Amino acid sequence: MNILAIEISTSSAKALLYSSEKGVRAVESMPFPVDSCDIMSQEPEGIYNALKKCILKIVNRLQEPVDAVGISTTWHSILFLDKKHMPLGRIYTWAHNRAGMAAERYREDSDFKRWYYNRTGCMVHSTYPLWQYIYFRDTHSLVYSEKPYISSQQTFIFEKLTGEFAVSKTTASGSGFLSIHKLTWDEDLLDFAGISEEQLPALKDPFYAAPLKEEAAEELGLPPGIPVVIGGADGAMNQIGDGAVRNGFMTFSVGTSGAVRMVTEKPLLPEQPSTWCYYLGEGMWIAGAATAGACNCIEWFIKSYSATGKLSYDDLEKRLYSVERDGAPIFLPFLYGERCPGWRDNRSGGFFHLSARHGLEDMYYAILEGVLFNLYHCYRILTREMGKPSRIIISGGIEHSPEWLQMAADIFQTELAVSQVQHASLLGTAILTLKALGRISELQDHRPDPQKIIFPDKVKKDLYHRRFEKYLEIYNKF
């Protein structure tokens, strides 16, 4: 059986053809055009066209039958539709932080914040679609005055392919509208936001499938009527793809943004709201922490300091070895606001203890370290609630830098299993689709081959302890 797993991320469209007998057959990825995506928002037809090109490349190149399609998207996005289900504007992603001021007003009420968190597993923060909606409501936007249907990346793509207005409970659990306990739209929150359930898509199990409609099949070169499985969010699919749907396993992603996640058998909601908790499927939830800054901070640095054309990743990687680490500057990676652990939408970041003796390599090192310190800060909070993991599987752009991987092991002072699963979220989508079609019995049955292990350097423990304490001191002041 051949599964076509498709994904809409923050910055690109992806497609993967997976054979249940032969494994991964082909992968295609396409960055969204600049006019279709500015990270904070996306033009709906533009991202669909990019996805269509990825699918057609695979279909035309391999000429192999496709038996089913599975969908993955980001966890947090919102799109408004008119009465005819046509987009009223762009898709707003988790990075759209204009809702920050509206969220901050409510977040200052500690009783409300705890009430909201205990119902949803989400924080009062601009990341979440509910607070994006509040922003448009409170600014008296034309979009709000239309009393629109509320869609998302996943709902938009699923409706394009099947004609059904629906969303996976997995993805909906990251919307801020869903009861994390009942897995239904929360009536009190709908009243709070001033919307009706009719404006929201139908909630479906992540294994739910609908037939591919003829119009979509024709333009994608696929057989009409094949099942399209609604799937879930990239973080959940990553957990499946890395074989971490097991107690004690943590995934550690360092890509555009960063995250640490563990599976739990019931919603995990600490007394002090800090980590998030979303639904995975099959009676399992994911507790975790996500950061706004990771590889996007490196991209900012390269872009900002490449005016002479002499700055490159390879050159900076080589120069890392000359950095005197104990005296390097400290970097707070909040260029795109803060998610976990402080949830301050409008927080800013930057370099501290920077002096004229520091060069570009020192600043580059500080960025790599600061991103990991932010994630380590989250890790300490999460493991206080769930205990230390028996295995940590690390993945993402960090895999391209051996030195950054070693820094992660040294800061966390634990062994890290490097995921050798390529495109883990797409693979997880394919595995979920196979489960939906009855081809495998349990998600846990997927167990990738052993990964490469990075061992911590015990000698570096004291160095990074001192550096992390400096980081926390600056973090708490600013």
List the structure tokens of 450.
């052993």
How many CB atoms are located within 10 Å of the residue 56 CB?
16
Instruction: Dump the DSSP string for 331-355.
Output: EE--BTB--TTT--TT---EEES--
Total domain count, the chain: 2
Residue that terminates a domain, selected from 173, 205, 235: 235
pLDDT tens track for 64-87: 999 999 999 999 999 999 999 999
Q: How much is the pTM?
A: 0.90
Q: Do residues 478 and 384 share a domain? A: yes
List the structure tokens of 265.
């058998």
In sequence order, the 6+-apart residues with CB closer than 8 A to the CB of 377 are: 341, 471, 472, 475
Q: Do residues 201 and 222 share a domain? A: yes
Q: Do residues 193 and 209 share a domain? A: yes
List the structure tokens of 89.
């504007």
Residue that terminates a domain, selected from 235, 252, 272: 235
Calpha distance 225→68 (Å, rounded) = 9
Q: Do residues 37 and 183 share a domain? A: yes
Calpha distance 134→268 (Å, rounded) = 26
Q: Do residues 252 and 210 share a domain? A: no
Pairing of strands 276-281, 258-264: unpaired
Calpha distance 403→86 (Å, rounded) = 48
Q: Which residues pair with 263 in a beta bridge?
A: 286
Residue from 133, 131, 111 nearest 122 by CA: 131
pLDDT of residue 239: 95
CATH number at residue 362: 3.30.420.40
Cis amide prior to 224 (ω within 30 degrees): no
Spatial contact of 76 and 175, defined as CB atoms under 8 Å apart = yes
Reported as half-sphere exposure (CB side, CA atoms, 13 A), residue 47 has a value of 30
Whether residue 184 lies inside any domain: the answer is: yes
Calpha distance 303→309 (Å, rounded) = 10
pLDDT of residue 311: 76
Whether residue 82 lies inside any domain: the answer is: yes
pLDDT of residue 145: 65
Pairing of strands 166-168, 202-204: parallel
Spatial contact of 369 and 328, defined as CB atoms under 8 Å apart = yes
Whether residue 96 lies inside any domain: the answer is: yes
CA distances, 266 to each of 66, 181, 238, 289 (Å): 36, 8, 20, 17
pLDDT of residue 309: 62
Residue that terminates a domain, selected from 193, 219, 235: 235
Whether residue 429 lies inside any domain: the answer is: no
CA distances, 66 to each of 70, 72, 211, 218, 442 (Å): 11, 17, 13, 13, 22
Buried b vs exposed e over 167-181: b needs ≥16 C-beta within 10 Å?
A: bbbbbbbbbbbbbbe
Whether residue 431 lies inside any domain: the answer is: no
Q: Do residues 377 and 249 share a domain? A: yes
Calpha distance 396→338 (Å, rounded) = 20
Q: Do residues 293 and 229 share a domain? A: no
Determine the 3-state secondary structure of 266 from DSSP. coil
Per run of 10 residues, the mean pLDDT along the chain (length 478 residues) is 95 94 92 90 96 96 94 96 94 90 90 96 95 89 76 98 98 97 97 95 98 97 97 94 92 92 93 92 94 92 76 88 95 94 90 95 97 97 92 92 97 93 91 95 82 93 97 95
pLDDT of residue 306: 75
129 lies in which domain range? Answer: 2-235
Q: Do residues 296 and 196 share a domain? A: no
